[in-house]
Structure 1
Amino acid sequence: MTFAIKFTDFNILHCMNTNLNLSTKHLLFVLITVIIWGTNFIAIYLGLKELPPFLFCTIRFALSALPFVFFIPRPKAPLLFIIGFGIFNFALQFGLLFSGIQMGLSPGLASLVMQIQVFFSMGLAILLFKETPNWFKISGSLISFVGIGIVAAHVGGDVTTIGLLLTLMASLAWASGNMFTKKINAVSPLSLVVWGNLVAFPFMAATSYYIDGTDLIIHSISTISWTAVLAIIYVVYISTHIGYGLWGLLIKTYPTVAVVPFTLLIPIVGFLSSAIYLKEELTDWKLYASFFIMIGLVFNLFESKILKFIALIKRNN
């Protein structure tokens, strides 16, 4: 998921009113998108039970790009930016994420850890665009990484060190892809997704060929079950095309500030769906980790609004 956040043009009351002014239909679209992206981690998990991660990614990129690239215009940007976006936002992000889940990080925790990309994006913006974080952003980052520390402290069971590290690297790759997004003028979010998948496809196909090998690739495809096929369909056409299509419509219809906060529900859906369908245990430490990470995200997303609200209270006093 790639999106830009800018709150400086809205006051806190406008933010609240905008959220309330979503039509019933568009509110339904928001909830559908959140549910789709939150449950996407289950589809990934089920697909990985039969397909090696790099082959799964290769199939996902191929079906997400073709034949749509022949009908959707290429984003208006230098080819180098589009290649960078495709490599970081798709090839690296999903290659690492799929590997992280296969190597032992549960789907629910993966959906939570991936949200750290917000803070990786902030750090990269500081390094590349010389942005200066205030104490609020720094505090939010520290609070969220307390949650990551809680996850790391419970290695074993549905958390492995390698699975956690690979998923954190996937989050960093997503954040790196966001830096390219800043430079790309896409006709629509879907065009960026389709062309980004096209870029990622040959890189991932080559990786799958050299790491998985032809024997494993042929065996995996020839013995694939309907469960894995349905997982592929979900990841490609439901999560990628429908999810991004609805998201693009919402971003075009409403100010970003009215829609983006709903993404905080994605890890919650991820945890609940994993608990229901995969019987993932919701232990106390997972709830504590979720609390710290989500509070840190709230600090980051609503930073300017909270600061203005604090200033307003001080003036009234």
Structure 2
Amino acid sequence: MPPRHRLLAALVAVTWGLNFPAIHLSLEQFPPFFLVALRWALVAVPTLLLVPRPRVAWRWIIGYGLGFGVLQFAFLYLAMENGMPAGLASLVLQSSAPFTVLLAAVLLRERLTGRQGLGVAVAVTGLAGIAVHRAGLDGGAALLPVVLTLCGGLGWALGNLCNRRAQPDSPFRLMLWMSVVPPLPMLALALAIEGPERIRASLTGLTSPTGLAALGGLLFTVLVATLVGSGLWTWLMVRHPSSVVAPFSMLVPVVGIGSSWLVLDESPAPAELLLGGLVVGGVLLGSVQGRRRTAPPAHEAPAGAGDPPVRDHGSGTTEPAEVSPPAR
């Protein structure tokens, strides 16, 4: 991965890290399943009206939407409502990276190098340590939110693989069209589990300080974390193997824990910080690649093509029609 693309991956980490305090503020007003439906509906409606569908089979759009949009955020929001701290959630959700690397090796037959395998092992050790630590808190009650967040990480990984297999003509439009999948199933879950009364109550008092903070968090989630962050992520996933891009997501906790400390006054336990260091160490180890080739892959775009997809790829006119992973 060239340095410019690594910087873009780091930018995604910043936007997604700041997203966790934003989600926390939104959950102060809205129930979790309804919030997921609302989040994706705000993207899906203009997408259906204004954005042409990418040349991708519906099975990959649906699979991407169910994994990335439904499973990831349903489990994450439910975990945070049940006591998962925002900063710690930003860390545990990065289980998607080792999940993606391992699933890509098994299902997509992407070669797992020794360095990447060691990085995954280090990261998993840190995540397992956090789970054990949380299991010892509050009589074990603190473990359930961790398990829910891990389920969200698995959903993210499954979405990554569908994104990878889609080979879209426009990754950004694929990300937008993925958003049409979650709203209806999540609204059905919200009505069945949270109930119409709770949903109706959450739509009142939106001009109060809590309501305004919730709306601000929702707008950040939709405009910045989803459109900018997920758009860049999709763009990178198409150009590089999953095992190279996915580990950058484990840098998100650096921003997530720091911003949660500043905004929400969350103070993670020293043991969790130390174990989180293992997770971050795993991503740094797994993302370093040897310099085996002297020429860029044939599918890499010329200088300037690394600009954010929001500007360059929103119309789908500059995206290659077919992209294959580089040989390793």
Range of TM-score over shorter length: 0.7 to 0.9
**Which residue number corresponds to residue 290 of structure 1?**
276
Q: Are residue 223 (structure 1) and residue 205 (structure 2) matched? A: yes
Question: Structure 1 residue aligned with 2:45, among 52, 66, 87?
Answer: 66
CA drift at 1:220: 1.1
Following the alignment from structure 2 to structure 1, what is the Cα–Cα distance between the partners of residues 231 and 130? 33
Question: Structure 2 residue aligned with 1:149, among 128, 133, 149?
Answer: 128
**Aligned ranges 1:213-252 → 2 under 5 Å:** 213-224=195-206, 225-245=211-231
Structure 1 stretch displaced more, 62-71 or 156-165: 156-165
Following the alignment from structure 2 to structure 1, what is the Cα–Cα distance between the partners of residues 260 and 123? 22
Following the alignment from structure 1 to structure 2, what is the Cα–Cα distance between the partners of residues 246 and 81? 19
Report the residue type matching 2:100 in the other structure.
S
Following the alignment from structure 1 to structure 2, what is the Cα–Cα distance between the partners of residues 58 and 87? 12
Question: Structure 2 residue aligned with 1:137, among 104, 111, 116?
Answer: 116
CA drift at 1:307: 9.5
Residue deviations 1:228-247, cap 9 Å, x none?
11111111112112334455
Q: Are residue 93 (structure 1) and residue 72 (structure 2) matched? A: yes
Report the residue type matching 2:77 in the other structure.
F
Consecutive unaligned residues of structure 2, counting only runs of 5 or more, are: 294-328
CA drift at 1:133: 3.6
Residues 53/39 of structure 1: CA separation in 2 closer, same or farther (3 Å cut): same
Following the alignment from structure 2 to structure 1, what is the Cα–Cα distance between the partners of residues 151 and 246? 23
Higher-helix-fraction structure: 1
Residue deviations 1:233-274, cap 9 Å, x none?
111112112334455678899999998876554211111101
Consecutive unaligned residues of structure 1, counting only runs of 5 or more, are: 1-6, 8-17, 309-317
Report the residue type matching 1:174 in the other structure.
W
Residues 249/296 of structure 1: CA separation in 2 closer, same or farther (3 Å cut): closer
CA drift at 1:192: 1.7
Q: Secondary structure at the match of 1:74?
A: coil
**Which residue number corresponds to residue 25 of structure 2?**
46
Structure 1 stretch displaced more, 198-207 or 121-130: 121-130
Paired residues of 1:77 and 1:184 also in contact (CA < 8 A): yes
Question: Structure 1 residue aligned with 2:177, among 195, 204, 221?
Answer: 195
Q: Are residue 122 (structure 1) and residue 101 (structure 2) matched? A: yes
Following the alignment from structure 1 to structure 2, what is the Cα–Cα distance between the partners of residues 274 and 103? 17
Identity in percent: 30
**Which residue number corresponds to residue 102 of structure 1?**
81
Paired residues of 2:110 and 2:241 also in contact (CA < 8 A): no
Q: Secondary structure at the match of 1:198?
A: coil
Paired residues of 1:76 and 1:184 also in contact (CA < 8 A): no
Residues 39/139 of structure 1: CA separation in 2 closer, same or farther (3 Å cut): same
With normalisation by structure 2, the TM-score equals 0.77
Paired residues of 1:188 and 1:248 also in contact (CA < 8 A): no
Following the alignment from structure 1 to structure 2, what is the Cα–Cα distance between the partners of residues 102 and 176? 23
Paired residues of 1:75 and 1:185 also in contact (CA < 8 A): no
Question: Structure 2 residue aligned with 1:281, among 249, 267, 270?
Answer: 267
CA drift at 1:48: 0.9
Following the alignment from structure 2 to structure 1, what is the Cα–Cα distance between the partners of residues 248 and 204? 40
RMSD: 3.2
Q: Secondary structure at the match of 1:222?
A: coil
Question: Structure 1 residue aligned with 2:256, among 236, 258, 270?
Answer: 270
